[in-house]
């Protein structure tokens, strides 16, 4: 954050000096400072965004603002939506542990996904409930239970968002974390209807 702020301050100083030079050189037309400033500041800001695009997108700078998610929408990195952790669900297992680390700020979710084609006409997730607790070492950072599942339909799979959260508001970036997930309800019934189903932690759109 400090690096970006310093670069921005330097850019503003350069613009002010440039405007002062132009105004002094053309004393009879001091209004030229206005268009120079209006054009110069956005140009410098765009250049700074381009130079610091990577750190901004990864949340290394200004992580608590919407700049990183906005840049990820405009120019998404190739690994933006790759799962941070995933594991196949087993009808005999109701508790799972996954290690993961956030790479980008913005919306994230614990979700389930099954492969297409659909094995049921109207998928429902009301017959299971999920709780998720996230730890940094032994310290608990986050705990949340699933509410009404928000479904998604991808090109190759379909599923539901079970637990939603934001980074870095709820959990930090670039730190190794451990999630402990408990599933209750008719997990076996879901797997019998859908076949192989994966539990995963993943970023999704910030729209």
- The answer on pLDDT for 134 being more than 90 is yes
The per-residue pLDDT for 166 is 94
> pLDDT category, 148, cuts 50, 70, 90?
confident
The per-residue pLDDT for 2 is 44
- DSSP per-residue string spanning the chain: -HHHHHHHHHHHHHHHHHHHHHHHHTGGGGGGHHHHHHHHHHHHHHHHHHHTHHHHHTTSSSTTSSHHHHHHHHS--TTTTS-SEEEE--TT--EEEEEE---SSEEEEEEEEEESSPSSSS---TTEEEEEEEEETTEEEEEEE--SPEEEE-SSEEEEEEEEEEETTTS-SS--EEEEEEEEE-HHHHHHHH-SEEEEEEE----
Note the pLDDT tens digit of each residue in 170-183. Answer: 999 999 999 999 99
For the chain, domain boundaries: 2-74, 85-203
- The answer on pLDDT for 28 being more than 60 is no
User: Quick check: pTM over 0.85?
Assistant: no
CATH of domain 85-203: 2.60.120
Note the pLDDT tens digit of each residue in 70-110. Answer: 777 777 889 999 999 999 999 999 999 999 999 999 999 99
């Amino acid at each position: 954050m400090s690096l970006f702020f310093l670069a921005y301050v330097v850019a503003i100083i350069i613009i002010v000096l440039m405007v002062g030079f132009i105004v002094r050189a053309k004393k009879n037309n001091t209004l030229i400072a206005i268009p120079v400033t209006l054009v110069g500041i956005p140009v410098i800001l765009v250049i700074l965004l381009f130079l610091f695009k990577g750190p901004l997108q990864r949340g290394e700078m200004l992580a608590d603002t919407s700049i990183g998610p906005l840049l990820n929408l405009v120019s998404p990195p190739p690994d933006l939506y790759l799962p941070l952790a995933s594991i196949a669900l087993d009808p005999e297992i109701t508790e799972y542990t996954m290690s993961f680390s956030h790479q980008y700020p913005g919306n994230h979710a614990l979700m389930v996904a099954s492969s297409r084609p659909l094995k049921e006409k109207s998928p429902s997730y009301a017959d299971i409930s999920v709780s998720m607790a996230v730890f940094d070492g032994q310290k608990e950072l986050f705990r949340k239970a699933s509410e009404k599942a928000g479904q998604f339909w991808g090109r190759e799979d379909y599923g539901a968002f079970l637990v939603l959260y934001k980074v870095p508001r709820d959990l930090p970036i670039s730190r190794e974390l451990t999630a402990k997930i408990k599933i209750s309800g008719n997990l076996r019934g879901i797997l019998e209807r859908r076949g192989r189903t994966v539990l995963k932690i993943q970023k999704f759109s910030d729209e």
